[in-house]
Amino acid sequence: MKKETLSWLAAGGRFTKRFEHDIGRQCQEMSLSRVADIHHLHWDQVRRMEMTYMRDLMAKHPPSKRLRAIGIDDVSIKKGHSYAIVVADMDQQRPIWLGGDGRAIENMNAFYADMGPQRCRRIRLVVMDMWKPFRISAKCHVPQARIIFDKFHVLRHLSEALDLTRRHEYKRVNEKERRFIKGQRYTLLSHRENLDAKGRRSLNLLLKANRRLHKAYLLKETFGQLWDYNNPTWARKFFENWKAQLKWQRLKPFEKFSAMIERHWDGVVSYCHPDNKVSLGFMEGLNNKIRVIQRRAYGIKDQNYLKLKVLTSFIKDDSKR
């Protein structure tokens, strides 16, 4: 007995491909359980149809063969310091790889192996944090590429230095002065324009009450100007002037931060070359998007599902509905 293959029928045979793809599109905007309720299906059926849709989407939109700039970050997969590595095409602004069972060198090497030597030879920029295994792997597999340290990871270190300063000052000052510092962590670490009127008043009182925190706050706010320079020489002059303001201030956390930037200066200043301008905020946005996907996929332990969900999250489906 022969069985005829119908092009419009899905692999499972119970639904049409068009229906499967409609289900897949809906799952990009809603949770599996919600889509299942709407169509009176079991959520596992919906999950399988969505995975088929996402595989088809990946097949239509594979990673570019002309990779020029990539971004690398680690993402927390589950509790207990379990990480995976996500890599994005910075020009197309989409994730292209998610893998590894950690963030060691061998996990990073797996990405370059999957891309192949031809794609790797074309890579000119690699955006990452200061994690050493990422740097070592990049220098080994894409030695021609410039390493750029992600602005948002650098500024996160600076915020930690400011918070450490706040804690030190809380312990150092007397009880009367502590009332200005207590409970003001969010106020101090936020940008002034993001605070409401009450927050700005609290910040002004805090900065007036404590000279060291005032200086630390100004140093933190001004450091971001470094990424506005298009000339490495002028960027270096800015950093030297910024460092000079630390003298006699007794701000140990900021001195450690300054020493860290000095050690990694080449990767920080790389962004100041006009040819190296990429959207540094994309990787931060991608990490936030992955957290949203994880919350919506709560209870699903299939790592392949999460991988497909992340890799298709920035692909626009241009097929007819």
pLDDT in tens, 17-52: 888 889 888 888 888 889 889 989 898 888 889 899
Residue 258: the pLDDT is: 96
Q: So what's the pLDDT on residue 101?
A: 84
- Backbone angles phi and psi of 76, in degrees to 5: -80, 120
Share of the chain above pLDDT 90, in %: 50
230, 233, 238, 242: CA torsion to nearest 10: 130
Would you place residue 11 in the very low, low, confident or very high pLDDT band (cuts 50, 70, 90)? low
CA angle 280/288/213 to nearest 5° reads 70
What does the pLDDT read at residue 274? 87
> Which of residues 149 and 274 earns the better pLDDT score?
149
**pLDDT score recorded for residue 79:** 67
Whether residue 95 has pLDDT greater than 80: yes
What is the structure's pLDDT at 10?
57
Q: What is the mean pLDDT of the chain?
A: 88
pLDDT over threshold 80, residue 3: no
**Helix/strand number for the chain, H first, E second:** 15, 5
Q: Region 71-80: what's the mean pLDDT?
A: 82
196-218 pLDDT, tens digit each: 898 899 889 888 989 999 999 99
Residue 68 and residue 215: Cα distance in Å, rounded?
A: 40
Is the per-residue pLDDT at 81 higher than 80? no
Rounded to whole angstroms, what are the CA distances from 251 to 117, 182, 212, 242?
Answer: 47, 19, 8, 13
Are 162 and 217 in contact, with CB atoms under 8 Å apart? yes
Q: Is the pLDDT of residue 8 over 80?
A: no
Give yes or no for a contact between 107 and 101, defined as CB atoms under 8 angstroms apart. yes
Q: Which residues contact 128 (CB under 8 A, 6 or more apart)?
A: 71, 72, 73, 134, 135, 138, 147, 148, 149, 150
> What value does the mean pLDDT take over residues 98-117?
92
Whole-angstrom distance, CA of residue 147 vs CA of residue 135: 8
What is the average per-residue pLDDT within 58-65? 90
Determine the pLDDT at residue 123.
96
pLDDT at 107 over 90: yes
Q: Tell me, what's the pLDDT at 212? A: 92
Using the predicted structure, report yes or no on whether residue 292 has a pLDDT greater than 80: yes
Mapped onto helix, strand or coil, the DSSP state of residue 188 is helix
Query: Strand 94-99 relative to strand 82-89: parallel, antiparallel, unpaired?
Result: antiparallel
Select from 81, 143, 91, 90 the least CA-distant residue to 112: 143
CA angle (224 as vertex; 219, 227 as ends), nearest 5:
140
- Tell me how far the alpha carbon of residue 120 is from its chain's centroid: 22
C-alpha span between 81 and 284 (Å, rounded): 19
Digit-coded pLDDT (tens) for 124-168: 999 999 999 999 999 999 999 999 999 999 999 999 999 999 999
Please give the pLDDT value at position 299. 60
Q: Above 60 in pLDDT, residue 88?
A: yes
Q: How far apart are CA 314 and CA 94, in angstroms?
A: 5
Closest of 174, 34, 258, 110 to residue 26, by C-alpha: 34
Rg (CA), the chain: 24
Q: Which two tokens stand for residue 124?
A: 């000119």
* Integer Cα distance of 153 and 150 in angstroms: 6
C-beta neighbour count of 248 within 10 angstroms: 6
* pLDDT-derived band at 91, boundaries 50, 70, 90: very high
